[in-house]
Structure 1
Amino acid sequence: MTRRNRRWLARRTGAWRVTAGRRIALRYWLEYAAVRLWSLLINCFPIETNLRTARLLGRLWWLLMKRHRQRAMENLRAAFGDRYSDEQLGRIARRSFEHFAQLYLVELVMTPRIVNEWSWSRYVELEDLGPALRELLVGRGVILLTAHFGNYELLGYTINRLGLPLHAVMRPLDNPLLNDFLEESRRAAGLHLLIKRGASEQAGQILAGGGALCFIADQDAGRKGVFAEFFGRPASWYKSLGLLAMQYRVPLVVGYAVRFREGFGYRIATERIVRPHEWEGRDDPLQWITQTIASSLENAIRRWPEQYLWAHRRWKTRPRENWASPERITNSAPNPESGVPPS
């Protein structure tokens, strides 16, 4: 545990009774030990074997975690209720649980080891990335955005393996031991990390120097965020996404990595590139940028809904009663009606 996290843990537990603080610390150590043991165990087996096991555990998660299952179904009904039956939505939700069990239990642990400079092309296909790669290569700064969709970690690893340095913005975990372990594995794989709290100044320096930043964009920003329509409902988005792009006049690249075959196989593609000339001169450029990001991510998720984290509390923060939905953004992304429910 780093000195910073030891201080953080002391502050976190010092507000309660000493015994309560010790219980919290013990829980963190037990969680950490379990994750390290799991990591050692699954590295003894081929990734395809581990993915089959994780899929079964994901199905068990779907069956046992009633609260998460209900939230996923509520979100899916709000997003697709007029198009799909409850039976179809249930299949999408169950497959989402299976997919994220594979991602969290296996792929996040094994990806840094098996996806390297020589092997990445066995697992990853690149689709029409020319324009996005040009933005990364030109050296004027770029912001890469994705969501809790597909394998968002693989996106950063692959770009790094292509020789393009990327700075990923991450939120620290509550457990400082696990946080250190995760940071260490990501840095060992070559990723440059920015801790979300207090990252604004560093982010600006990176963009000003022509670097690339990567954000997971679909996180609830609370009351201080910008509200934009996402699957027909207002959701709160971080202002920093648009403000950084506007301040440094850099493009935003909305991309994703989706599973395209059984097992460990992903396709990386770009959904939308939002360039400065598109928002300059608009009445409310920040709102326009935010809605364009939301619409672009929605279009991609509609095509592979089973790979989105529907149990995520994306619509947790509600806007004020007088909030009016902005005009929907029409962009060049594929038709959002092209999504097909799993059979």
Structure 2
Amino acid sequence: MFPKPARVKRRNRFVDYAAYLGVRLVVFIAQSLSMRQSYALADAIAALVYKIDKRHRQVAMENLEHAFGDTYTDEQRDQIVRGVYRHFLRMVMEMLHIPKRLHLTTWRKFITLKGHEPVIERLLKGGPMIMLTGHYGNWEMAGYMFGAFGFPPHSVARVLDNPYLERYLKEFREQTGQKMIAKRGGSDEMLDVLQSGGLLSMLGDQDAGPKGLFVDFFGRPASTFKAIALLAIEFNAPIVVGGARRIGDDFQYLVEVEEIIDVNAENSSPDLIPELTQRYTAALERMVRRDPTQYLWLHRRWKNQPRAKRSKAAA
């Protein structure tokens, strides 16, 4: 007998659509505000969420303690966590304003580029490239900006459970030409992008589960997906690690390239996959250290840990 398939819980279409309408209303209100007013609203919401979201607040405090040890006191860690909530609520507001404010003729008012010259040169020459960032700064901005420049990336993201919100968010993200690829079930599309010499955009700091590749991140083993390194090796695609970091207290960002990792597929060895994975993870860590308040410490990056090897006696 074959095992019975697991039952998929049916979603309430009415609830999903009501949530969608609520989000559209919030977007309408936020887009009618000035940037300063949007920031004020974001700060107020952040202060409220900080108080009621005890679970994620505690996760962030523990992550900071593990990552930085005694570098910060409890009070300083608490201030960083407050800053994390404030940063990401402001980032949400900025995302709503980006389509109206960030264009090919206006981006210089808001964006400063650093280390971008070799990346643009490679894009002009053509060939596959993997653009990698993490849950740091405004990770949505890079994909939007490259699309405005005429180099629309294919960005990998998780599909939302709410189909109405998923469709709306996808349309919003694709306004400048970038295309979205589902994280689950989108492997063939990723291969097609790199096969055709396209630009693939991915997040490289998500927990890969108990079977992931464990590399060092802030002094702790972090389960990391092997797919990024495997794709880079298969298509001989450079991995460009970078991010968009807020500078100052306004809509001003430094979009910086932290490292360009060239892959020599001809001299590949079994150690190349963990080597590449560790290298881009270390680059992400360097960026986070510049401003810990702009990293999503609220998610359980170290959720899975390597299983302790049993000794022969114990076996």
- How high is the TM-score relative to the length of structure 2? 0.92
Q: CA deviation at 1:290?
A: 0.7
Alignment of 1:179-218 (within 5 A): 179-218=166-205
Equivalent in the alignment of 1:253: 240
Q: Which moved more, 1:63-72 or 1:275-284?
A: 275-284
CA contact (8 A) 1:148 1:218 kept: yes
Q: Secondary structure at the match of 1:276?
A: coil
Is residue 2:76 matched to residue 1:88? yes
Q: Which moved more, 1:269-278 or 1:174-183?
A: 269-278
Cα deviation, 1:60-115, whole Å, max 9, x if unaligned, reads: 211221111101000000011221111111111110110011112x1222212321
Q: CA deviation at 1:237?
A: 1.2
Q: Secondary structure at the match of 2:245?
A: strand
Equivalent in the alignment of 1:263: 250
Q: CA deviation at 1:205?
A: 1.8
Query: What letter matches 1:197 in structure 2?
Result: R
Say which of 239, 252, 259 aligns to 2:226: 239
Say which of 54, 71, 85 aligns to 1:97: 85
CA contact (8 A) 1:137 1:164 kept: no
In structure 1, how many angstroms separate the alpha carbons of the residues matched to 2:59 and 2:14?
Answer: 30
Q: Which runs of 5+ in 1 are unaligned?
A: 1-10, 324-343
In structure 2, how many angstroms separate the alpha carbons of the residues matched to 1:88 and 1:278?
Answer: 45
CA contact (8 A) 1:246 1:276 kept: yes
Q: Which moved more, 1:212-221 or 1:112-121?
A: 112-121
Is residue 2:139 matched to residue 1:149? no
Cα deviation, 1:187-222, whole Å, max 9, x if unaligned, reads: 223211111222222212211221110001111111
Q: Which runs of 5+ in 2 are unaligned?
A: 311-315
**C-alpha RMSD of matched pairs (Å):** 2.0
Equivalent in the alignment of 2:113: 126
Equivalent in the alignment of 2:24: 36
Q: Secondary structure at the match of 1:224?
A: coil
* CA separation of 1:216 and 1:279: change in aligned 2, threshold 3 A: farther
CA contact (8 A) 2:130 2:201 kept: yes
Q: Which moved more, 1:90-99 or 1:123-132?
A: 123-132
Q: Secondary structure at the match of 1:223?
A: coil
Query: What letter matches 1:298 in structure 2?
Result: E
CA contact (8 A) 2:233 2:265 kept: no
CA contact (8 A) 1:144 1:213 kept: yes
Query: What letter matches 2:252 in structure 1?
Result: G
In structure 1, how many angstroms separate the alpha carbons of the residues matched to 2:34 and 2:260?
Answer: 37
Q: How many residues align?
A: 306
Q: CA deviation at 1:152?
A: 0.3
Q: Secondary structure at the match of 1:43?
A: helix
Q: CA deviation at 1:244?
A: 0.2
Is residue 2:285 matched to residue 1:302? no
Cα deviation, 1:285-343, whole Å, max 9, x if unaligned, reads: 100011111111001101111100000111112222139xxxxxxxxxxxxxxxxxxxx
Say which of 112, 120, 125 aligns to 1:138: 125
Q: CA deviation at 1:282?
A: 4.6
Query: What letter matches 2:96 in structure 1?
Result: V
Cα deviation, 1:203-257, whole Å, max 9, x if unaligned, reads: 1221122111000111111123211111111111111100000001110000000
CA contact (8 A) 2:115 2:258 kept: no
CA contact (8 A) 1:48 1:264 kept: no
Q: CA deviation at 1:128?
A: 2.2
Equivalent in the alignment of 2:57: 69
In structure 2, how many angstroms separate the alpha carbons of the residues matched to 1:316 and 1:221?
Answer: 9
Query: What letter matches 2:52 in structure 1?
Result: L
In structure 2, how many angstroms separate the alpha carbons of the residues matched to 1:27 and 1:317?
Answer: 33
In structure 1, how many angstroms separate the alpha carbons of the residues matched to 2:28 and 2:148?
Answer: 24
Q: CA deviation at 1:258?
A: 0.3
In structure 2, how many angstroms separate the alpha carbons of the residues matched to 1:234 and 1:135?
Answer: 33
In structure 1, how many angstroms separate the alpha carbons of the residues matched to 2:40 and 2:249?
Answer: 9
CA contact (8 A) 2:84 2:295 kept: yes
CA contact (8 A) 2:59 2:298 kept: yes
CA contact (8 A) 1:125 1:266 kept: yes
In structure 2, how many angstroms separate the alpha carbons of the residues matched to 1:42 and 1:222?
Answer: 37
In structure 2, how many angstroms separate the alpha carbons of the residues matched to 1:297 and 1:280?
Answer: 25
Q: CA deviation at 1:180?
A: 0.6
Equivalent in the alignment of 1:58: 46
Q: Secondary structure at the match of 2:112?
A: strand
Equivalent in the alignment of 1:319: 306
